[in-house]
Structure 1
Amino acid sequence: MITDIQVRKLLKFLSQGKSLETAAARSGMDEKTGRKYRNLNMLPSDIKVARSRSWRTRNDPVGEFWGTAESFLKINDGLEAKLLFTYFQREIPGRIGGGQLRTFQRRVKSWRATEGAGHEVFFPKRHDPGKMSRSSFRNLSELGVSLAGHNFDHLVFHFVLTYSNWETGSVFLAEDFPSLSAGLQKSLWDIGGSPKFHRPDKLDAMADKPAEFKALLNHYRISELTNRADSPDDKQTVEQRHRHFEMALNQALILRGSRDFDSLTEYEKFLRRLFEQLNQKRLYRLQDEQAVLHRLPREKWGGEDDAS
C-alpha cells in the first residue's frame, strides 16, 4: 500500500526536475503508480477521505443540479467550479444561494479525485511520446457562433498529439492548403517542436498541393503518413477525440451565456482558454513528448516558394 510519505517524496523529486521513472523508483513505487499520484496531486489519505465521504444525503445542498454538473465535468474536467456554479445560479434563479459555493467546490474536488482521471479518451494502440500527431478541420457552423451580431460560419483546425492527447486549434474560413499549412505550423510552434509523423484525417486540403505539403513536412522533419488506412478502432477513437472537442466548445458556450463575440480576437481568446482547461491534466505527458520532439527550424515554412 502506498503511503503519504512515499507520495510526498515522489512530488518532491518531481518538483526538483527528476524524471517520473527516477522519482517513482526513489519513492518505492512503480512508474504507473507514480504517474497516477502525479496526475491526482493528492495524498492517499486525502483520496480515501474523498471516496468514503457520502455526499448524497437527504439534505444535499447541491443534489438538485449535481447530475448536470457531473455531465459537464465528464466533457471538460478542467472547468472552474465557480464558473459552473454561476451557471446554475443563472439557470435556477432564486434557489441556489452563494453559501452553497464551498460545498459545490468540495464536491467537484472529490469527483476529480475519484472519477475525473478515468475519463480521458486515449488512442487504442500504444503511442510513444513525440511520435504521432493528428489533425482535422471541424465545421462549427452549427454551433451558432456570431461576431458583433453577425452569423460566423467557420472551421477550426484541430490538432492532437496522440500520446498525451494535448490539443490546440485555429480558426479558418476554408478547408484548403494555406489553412492547413498555417494551422499545422501554429500548432507545432505552440508545442515547441515537431513529431516524427503527422496525419491529417482528411486529405482534401492537400489534394491539389502534394508537393507543397511534402515540402512543408520536410521543413519540420516530419514523415508523411497518408498511405496507411486507419483500423476501425483507430478511426472511431480519432473521431471521438475531435467530437470531444466540439462538445467541450458547445458546453463552454452554454456556460458563457452567449454565443456572440465582439470580435474574432475575443473568440480566439475564448478558444485558447478552453484548450488550456482541456490540457490541464496532460501537461506531464506533454513534457514527455517535448523531450523527444524534433527541434523547430529557425523560421516557419514560407509557402510555395519553399517547395521548389
Structure 2
Amino acid sequence: MPGHRITDQQIRLFMSKRKDHLQVTAASKAGISERSARRIESGQRQLGPSKPRNYRTRTDPLELVWDPVVLPLLQLSDTITPVGVFDYLCEEYSDVFAVTLRRTLERRIQKWRQINGQDKEVIFRQVKEFGQLGIMDFTWADFIVTIRGTTLKHRFFNYRLPASGWSYVQVVYGGESFVAVATGLQNAFEQSNGVPQEVRTDSLSAAYKNHSNETLFTERFSELSIHYGFKPSKNNTGIAHENGAIESANNHLKNQIRQALAIRGSSDFDSIDEYETFIDDVVQRRNRRIMALLIDEQRQLQPLPKFESVNYEIYPVKVSSTSTFQLKRVTYSVPSRLVGATLRVHLFDKKLDIYCHGVHTATLTRVHASANNRGHQINYRHLIGALMKKPRAFRGGQWRDQLLPNEDYRQIWKNVDALLSADEASLYMVRLLNIASKSDREEAVGRFVLEGINLGQRPNIVDCEERFLKDEEWEFNPKVQQHSLASYQQILDEVNEYVS
C-alpha cells in the first residue's frame, strides 16, 4: 500500500504464494502492489534490514538554535530540563523557534543526553531472604478522617517484612517518639510471631543520633535491639529508594485506605476505636493474601523473648492544688485525694499509668498536644466531690467547659444558665454531674434531662435522683409461707423425747 513500508513477513508470504499463483494474485494475498512484487522478483527489494540513509529528507527545524543556544545549555548543567530549555527558547528566540516544536526539542535533547550526557544513578534490586530484614517507617495520613465531625490528625507506624510482604500498621496520634517506635515494634513482633535478624529505619531521632557523624543509635533503641536480638540499621539520609520496600508500601497502604473509605461511603467514625478497627481490617485483608509466604518466613524468624521490653517513659509529676498536673504541654486531672502528692507517670503512646508510692492509682487517656497549642484531659468524676462542697465555683471555674462530658450536658448548661440565677444554675449542674457520676449512667442522665428541656419541662434534681439513684425494686415479690409456732414446738418435743 502507498505510504506503508513492506515488511519481511509480507515478502516471505509473497514468495511463498508465488510458487502456485500468478504474480498479481500472490501480490494481492501478501497485501502489496504489483510494482512492489516486480521489484522483489527483480532483486531490488530483499529480506533483511534496509540500509540506513545518511542524509536528511527535510530541513532541520532546530538548526538555528541547536548549536548556538541549546548545546551550551545542556553542557552547562545536567539538571536543566527540556521544559526549561523550551521556555527559554520561547521567551528569548521566538523569532527563530516555533512553539509547535516542543516534542521535537524534547526528543533531540533525550537523544543527545543518551549519547553524550552524564552517567545516571542505577538501582540495584536486592535479593530478599526470609527472616533477614524488617523495615519500619512513619507516614502521615494525608486524607481526611473525622471522629463525630472532628478532624483526626494522625499518622501510621508501618512495619513490613519485605521477603513475604507481611505488614503491621498502627495508628499514631503523636510524634515519631521512642514510645511509638517501641510500642509499634513490640506489637509487630508479637503479631508476626518472631523477630528478624535486622530492623532498618530512616533517620528517626527516636532511634538514631542524627547530629553525630558516626552511625550511632540512641541508648534506649540500642537496649530495645539487644532485648529482642535484632541488628539495627538505617538508610543514608535523603536517599529514600534505599528504603523503597517500605516507602512504596506506605503509598499502597494509604491508597488502599482511601479506596476502603470511598466504598464505606463515609470517612466519619463514632470513636477512635472504631477507626482503628477499620484500619486493622484493611491491613488484615492485605496480609491474608500472602499468608503462605508469611508461614515460610516465620520459620526463619528469631523467637520472641519471654518478656516485653519497656515501651514507656517515666516522669515524676506533682499534683497541684487544682487536682491537676502538666505533662508534655497537656493538663490532666486526677482524683482530688492526690492533691499535693508526687506521682510517677508511665507515659505510653495512648495512655498514662499513674503510680502513687508504687501503687497503681489510675489510668488516663493520653492527649497529644501540638507545638503551638496546649491540651487538656479534665474528668468531672475526679472533681465532683469538691464541687459538691463549692457548687458556686463551677460557674467561673477555669475548666468549666471541660467538666461537661458531652454535647448534651453543654446544651443543658446553656439552658439553666439562661433561665436560672447564677447560684441555682451552678447548683443544678453540679448535682446533675454528681448523679451521673454516682449512677455511672452519664449518657442516660444527660439524655433524660435534655429531652425534658426540649419538651419545655426541665426535670428537677429530685426527679433525676429518684430515677437514677433509687435502689432497684424487684419486678416481682416472691410469696414466702410462714410456718406456725406449733410446728416449731413439735420439733422441740421430738428432740426432747429422743434425748431422754
1:197 Cα deviation after fit: 0.4
In structure 1, the partner of 2:296 is 288
Q: Aligned with 2:171: secondary structure?
A: strand
Letter in 2 for 1:266: E
The answer to whether the 8 A contact 2:154-2:171 is kept is yes
The 1-side partners of 2:283 and 2:246 are apart by 17
Which of 275, 290, 305 is residue 297 of structure 1 equivalent to? 305
Paired residue secondary structure (1:205): coil
* Matched AA of 1:284: A
- The AA in structure 1 aligned to 2:221 is F
Q: Does 1:216 align with 2:201?
A: no
Q: 4+ runs of 1 displaced by more than 3 Å?
A: 227-238, 303-306
Say yes or no: does 1:264 pair with 2:283.
no
Closer/same/farther in 2, CA of residues 231 and 172 from structure 1, 3 Å limit? closer
Change in Cα spacing, 1:134 to 1:230, as seen in structure 2 (3 Å) is farther
Q: Match for residue 191 of structure 1?
A: 192
Q: Equivalent residue for 2:29?
A: none
- Residue 235 of structure 1 and its aligned partner are, at CA, apart by 3.9
> In the TM superposition, what is the alpha-carbon distance from 1:230 to its structure 2 partner?
9.4
Match for residue 175 of structure 1?
Answer: 176
Kindly indicate whether the alpha-carbon contact (under 8 Å) linking 1:212 and 1:303 is maintained by their aligned counterparts in 2: no
Does 1:157 pair with 2:157?
yes
Number of equivalenced pairs: 183
Change in CA separation of 1:200 and 1:235 when aligned onto 2, cut-off 3 Å: closer
Q: CA deviation at 1:138?
A: 1.1
Which amino acid in the other structure matches residue 132 of structure 1?
L
For 1:274 and 1:287, locate their aligned partners in 2 and report how far apart those are by CA, in whole Å: 20
| 8 Å CA contact 2:201, 2:235 repeated in 1 | no
Checking the alignment, whether the CA contact within 8 Å between 2:137 and 2:246 is kept in structure 1 is: no
Encode CA deviations 1:180-223: one digit per residue, 9 max, x unaligned.
11111111111111000001234233246700001111111001
Q: 2: distance between equivalents of 1:193 and 1:154? A: 28
Structure 1 stretch displaced more, 283-292 or 196-205: 196-205
For residues 189 and 236 of structure 1, do their structure 2 counterparts lie closer, same or farther at Cα, with a shift above 3 Å needed?
Answer: closer
SS in 1 for 2:222: helix
Residue identity matched to 2:181: L
**1:234: Cα distance to partner?**
3.8
Question: What's the counterpart of residue 146 of structure 2?
Answer: 146
Per the alignment, residue 240 of structure 1 pairs with: 248
Larger Rg: 2
**Distance in 2 between the 1:150 and 1:222 partners?**
40
* Per-residue deviation, residues 125-149 of structure 1 (Å, max 9, x unmatched): 1111011011111111x31111122
Q: Are the structure 2 counterparts of residues 235 and 227 from structure 1 closer, same or farther at C-alpha, using a change threshold of 3 Å? A: closer
C-alpha separation in 2, matches of 1:160 and 1:133: 6
Find the residue that maps to 1:144 and give its secondary structure. coil
Unaligned runs of 5+ in 1: 1-122
**Code of the aligned partner of 1:197:** E
How far apart are the structure 2 equivalents of 1:237 and 1:150?
A: 33
CA distance in 2, matches of 1:232, 1:269: 30
**Bigger relative contact order (CA 8 A; separation at least 6):** 1
1:255 aligns with 2:263: yes
Distance change >3 Å, CA 219–CA 230, structure 1 → 2 = farther
**In the alignment, what sits opposite 2:204?**
203
3-state DSSP of counterpart to 1:143: coil
1:133 and 1:250 map into 2 onto residues whose CA distance is: 25
> Relative to structure 1, is the Cα distance of residues 293 and 237 closer, same or farther in structure 2, using a 3 angstrom cutoff?
closer
Secondary structure in structure 2 of the residue aligned to 1:268: helix
Name the counterpart of 2:351. Answer: none
Indicate the structure with greater helix content.
1
Query: SS in structure 1 opposite 2:303?
Result: coil
